Amino acid sequence: MKTLDLPNLAQPASTVILGLMRIADLDDEQIRTLVRTAIDHGINTFDHADIYGGERHRCEERFGEAGAISPAERESVIIQSKVGIRPGMFDFSREHILRTVDESLAALRTDYLDTLLLHRPDTLVEPDEVAAAFDELKAAGKVRSFGVSNHTPLQIEVLKRSLNVSLDYNQVQLSITHAPIIASGIAANMVKLDQSIDRDNGMLDYARLNDITLQAWSPFQKGFFDGVFVGDRDDYPELNDALDEIAAAHGITPTGVAVAWISRHPAGIQTVLGTTNPQRVIDSAAGGGVELSREEWYRLFTAAGHILP
């Protein structure tokens, strides 16, 4: 497992993160097994959000109730959560941020978050309010580092003008098949080509220029929660041929190759898994330790239907 030295964290972070968005219906033993499997295979970072699980804080609560992380090992893991989505609106008000973090800490049964992300851009944001909330959380020792999710470079700049803390992360949707942050730059400057459309205002290069670590959510989904491309030979026959062959060449699974494709990028992108299946966690962790060649990376990219102009 590759690790990354990231700002404001006490330890290197694993390049693969276990996301806990889908654990609401697992029992305590299943949650402990899932988390233990991740830790045993080098994954030390866990991704939550207040909204995961239907009712507010449900997945965080299940993680805490199950005793997934013992008090003795708390300092050896990185726990991340998110705030800012409410039913029918986005809300970056100081009051909402502070109240939600307190609720997340109670649900997770921990005293601090290693990282807090603003989940989706709130166009009614008052950056000074975010700054006040972040300062209070940092001073109280409740949050150690901060970031955003699904934000454009300019939205980050608007926040940065007020903030006294750095924004170290942007969590965005990225898989081999859903890769606009990478694919648009590869097809820059092409008229009449959908792939050329810049949907995020240069997020990838902005992140590299500003030492912002990207985190890839839905790394196995074809698009927005519409099924997994691994093993889907109806929609992605060529991609699955490539996944199978490259997997065999490296002694890992196609699932692992999908992770390796993300971690191969020199921007140092973390992969946020959503699986609840311990074997898939093991397969993914193995992929996090494999370095694909340039030829393999581009073969997967084009086999997924992206073009090289």
Ligand X SMILES: NC(=O)c1ccc[n+]([C@@H]2O[C@H](COP(=O)([O-])OP(=O)(O)OC[C@H]3O[C@@H](n4cnc5c(N)ncnc54)[C@H](OP(=O)(O)O)[C@@H]3O)[C@@H](O)[C@H]2O)c1
Name which of 20 and 78 has its Cβ closer to ligand X. 20
Name which of 89 and 193 has its Cβ closer to ligand X. 89
Q: How far apart are CA 261 and CA 291, in angstroms?
A: 8
Q: Considering the complex, what minimum distance in angstroms separates the CB of residue 33 from ligand X?
A: 13
Q: How far apart are CA 189 and CA 268, in angstroms?
A: 25
Nearest residue by C-beta to ligand X?
A: 274
Between vectors from CA 223 to CA 187 and to CA 225, what angle results, nearest 5°? 160
Name which of 201 and 308 has its Cβ closer to ligand X. 201
What are the catalytic residues? 52
Q: Considering the complex, what minimum distance in angstroms separates the CB of residue 20 from ligand X?
A: 6
Q: What is the dihedral of CA 220, 224, 228, 230, to 10 degrees?
A: -50
Strand pairing of 45-47 and 143-149?
unpaired
Name which of 270 and 294 has its Cβ closer to ligand X. 270
Helix or strand holding residue 302 (H, E): helix 294-303
Binding site for ligand X (CB under 6 A): 19-22, 47, 149-150, 171, 217-221, 228, 230, 255, 272-277, 280
Q: Considering the complex, what minimum distance in angstroms separates the CB of residue 178 from ligand X?
A: 9
Q: How far apart are CA 171 and CA 150, in angstroms?
A: 6
Name which of 21 and 125 has its Cβ closer to ligand X. 21
Q: How far apart are CA 1 and CA 43, in angstroms?
A: 8
Q: Considering the complex, what minimum distance in angstroms separates the CB of residue 309 from ligand X?
A: 28
Q: How far apart are CA 123 and CA 94, in angstroms?
A: 15
Q: What is the three-class DSSP state of 147?
A: strand
Q: Considering the complex, what minimum distance in angstroms separates the CB of residue 181 from ligand X?
A: 13
Show the beta-strand stretches assigned E in the chain: 3-4, 13-14, 16-19, 45-47, 78-83, 85-86, 89-90, 113-118, 143-149, 167-173, 213-217, 270-273
